């Protein structure tokens, strides 16, 4: 029996914890907020899988590769699509009650899918249904020690091997938790941007800690902006499934502008729709575009999309009789901690699953409703790989110690030498301001980018300093992570001198075939001083 530390309580973390417990391991599951709070809980659209007779794994693979804009890892895509149906059936066994119709399990069509293959629960509450079922399953496992209100601070690395993590507990004390293996499942980093569909806990803690520990991260320039968030305070998501059911986008003149943008119109890939909406908003002086779902009828809207209906009502909107205002918002990070097809990172002992990971399954632009699927598939594979020898050559760093370091400079590799840069060191004394950072990234490293804007962003980010790693403030530690991740994202976007998938640069508006490869980033060795008072706890 091994001791396994799982960090994060979305689909990836919960499923990994259950699988590890059922395999006989002792599991400690830590989560920054309460157990049910994660990005998973807010997922609306559903889970894509080749479950139906008129579909196939090969068709799902092709759709995923097409959406990924030439940057997918084919082996990871094949694993995702082949093992996806079995993982959906697992969720059913764990108690997820997917919606049904007269033919059996109901399914929907979403953008860039060639088949209707997206299963959903509670209409547009799929994530909430999945989260609730898995939380209940975790609570029934006596061998899972759940620690809520416990934040990841840094990974503990000795001799190049991850042996636990330093965490900040609810008593505001930092402690080390020892483990034979760590499974990161901390989700994304929507808090990098002013407008996001993510909950406030999505501050990129896992990617930041893994980078500081010496793990490779990759594809951080590829942040997906969901085209249709309701343009009201809180930016609630308006699922892509709404457009799959037939809703259309209109400008302020009521023209359906997507017809001129792409042959698939409203069902074009997300990056295409998001940029088209952003251009329309510029022409309209920043005013949101309108999503017109009135043709669907009140009954369908209220039964199929109860969560969105409630959000509209809370904003004083009735989308059964009027088009609603929508705009893009930061939604999903395709990049993250680089892994192989067994969720293993470049640091032995460290696995990464879900949005924190860059498996290569999404490439430059995630196919709609592949995110929950990826979390389930690779969480299962991570647990199956526990105790197996780390593959030879999987890491450059296994033979030397890597204590955590602060972000200062990033070496970038994977693109030609002329695109590589080094991020300036931040040696000023101005503490990072989160709203200013979010606005800076929204304006200069958001839906539309340019070399000049990104260079300006890099210079401004370099002027801020991060809070101390010894802080006992969750907000301060989050700001530390967001500043470092903002620098890495901007550096990767500067290095990629082309437009591809979710990354668009006005000074390089076309893809360049020779750049169809990943940008990976590694840190320089600069050890942190140890935390003065720590209590080590065995996992």
Catalytic residues, by residue number, are 270
Reference 427, options 446, 412, 407, 443; nearest CA is: 407
26-30/3-7 β-pairing: parallel
Helix (H, G, I), strand (E, B) or coil at 9: coil
Local structure of residue 384 (DSSP, 8 states): H
SS3 of residue 523 by DSSP:
strand
Beta bridge partners of 336: 218
Selection from 317, 315, 277 nearest residue 293 by Cα: 317
Give the span between the Cα atoms of 425 and 420, in whole angstroms: 16
165, 176 Cβ separation under 8 angstroms: yes
Q: How far apart are CA 282 and CA 278, in angstroms?
A: 6
Q: What is the DSSP string of 135-181?
A: HHHHHT-TTEEEE-S-EEEEEEEETTEEEEEEEE-TTS-EEEEE-SE
Phi, psi of 477 (to 5 degrees): -65, -35
State whether residue 227 is helix, strand or coil: strand
Q: Answer whether 112's CB lies under 8 Å from 269's CB.
A: yes
Torsion of CA 223, 224, 228, 232, to 10 degrees: -20
Could you give the 3-state DSSP secondary structure of residue 314?
Answer: helix
Query: Rounded CA gap, 150 and 137, in Å?
Result: 20
DSSP conformation class of 112: T
Alpha-carbon span 152 to 21, nearest angstrom: 21
- 260 Cβ partners below 8 Å, 6+ apart? none
Phi, psi of 317 (to 5 degrees): -115, 145
| Helix, strand, coil % in the chain, rounded to nearest 5 | 35, 20, 45
What's the first-to-final CA gap in the chain, in angstroms?
12
Distances (CA, A) of 501 to 207, 269, 270, 303, 359: 21, 9, 9, 33, 16
């Amino acid at each position: 029996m091994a001791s396994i530390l799982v960090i994060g309580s979305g689909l990836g973390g919960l499923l990994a914890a259950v699988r590890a417990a059922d395999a006989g391991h002792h599991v400690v599951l830590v989560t920054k907020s309460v157990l049910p709070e994660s990005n998973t809980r807010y997922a609306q659209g559903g889970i894509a899988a080749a479950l139906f007779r008129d579909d196939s794994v090969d068709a799902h693979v092709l759709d995923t590769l097409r959406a990924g804009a030439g940057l997918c890892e084919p082996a990871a895509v094949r694993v995702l699509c082949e093992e996806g149906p079995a993982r959906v059936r697992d969720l059913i066994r764990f108690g997820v009650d997917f919606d049904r119709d007269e033919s059996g399990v109901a399914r929907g069509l979403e953008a860039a899918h060639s088949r209707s293959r997206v299963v959903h629960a509670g209409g547009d509450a799929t994530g909430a249904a999945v989260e609730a079922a898995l939380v209940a399953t975790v609570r029934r496992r006596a061998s899972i020690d759940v620690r809520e209100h416990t934040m990841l601070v840094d990974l503990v690395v000795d001799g190049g091997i991850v042996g636990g993590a330093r965490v900040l507990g609810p008593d505001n004390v930092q402690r080390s938790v020892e483990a034979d293996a760590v499974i990161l499942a901390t989700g994304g980093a929507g808090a990098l941007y002013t407008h996001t569909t993510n909950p406030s806990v999505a501050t990129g803690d896992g990617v930041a800690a893994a980078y500081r520990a010496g793990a490779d991260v990759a594809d951080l320039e590829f942040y997906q902006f969901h085209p249709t968030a309701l343009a009201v305070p809180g930016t609630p998501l308006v699922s892509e499934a709404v457009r799959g059911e037939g809703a259309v986008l209109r400008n302020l003149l009521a023209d359906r502008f997507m017809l001129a943008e792409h042959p698939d119109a409203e069902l074009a890939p997300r990056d295409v729709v998001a940029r088209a909406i952003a251009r329309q908003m510029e022409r309209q002086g920043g005013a949101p575009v309108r999503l017109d779902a009135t043709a669907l009828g009140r009954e369908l809207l209220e039964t199929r999309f109860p969560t969105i209906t409630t959000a509209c009502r809370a904003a004083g909107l009735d989308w059964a009789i009027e088009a609603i205002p929508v705009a893009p918002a930061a939604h999903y990070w395709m990049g993250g901690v680089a892994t192989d097809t067994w969720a293993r990172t470049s640091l032995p002992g460290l696995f990464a699953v879900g949005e924190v990971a860059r498996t290569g399954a999404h490439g430059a632009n995630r196919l709609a409703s592949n995110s929950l699927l990826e979390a389930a598939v690779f969480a299962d594979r991570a647990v199956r790989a526990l105790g197996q020898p780390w593959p030879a050559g999987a890491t450059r760093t296994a033979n030397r110690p890597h204590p955590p370091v602060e972000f200062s400079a990033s070496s970038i590799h994977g693109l030609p030498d002329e695109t590589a840069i080094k991020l300036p060191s931040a040696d000023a004394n101005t503490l990072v301001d989160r709203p200013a950072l979010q606005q800076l990234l929204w304006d200069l490293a958001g839906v539309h980018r340019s070399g000049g804007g990104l260079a300006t962003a890099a210079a401004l980010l370099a002027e801020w300093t991060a809070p101390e790693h010894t802080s006992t403030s969750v907000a301060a530690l989050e700001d530390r992570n967001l500043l470092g991740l903002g620098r890495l994202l901007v550096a990767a976007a500067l290095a990629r001198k082309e437009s591809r998938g979710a990354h668009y640069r006005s000074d390089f508006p076309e893809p360049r075939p020779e750049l169809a490869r990943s940008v990976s980033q590694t840190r320089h060795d600069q050890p942190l001083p140890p935390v003065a008072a720590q209590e080590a706890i065995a996992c």
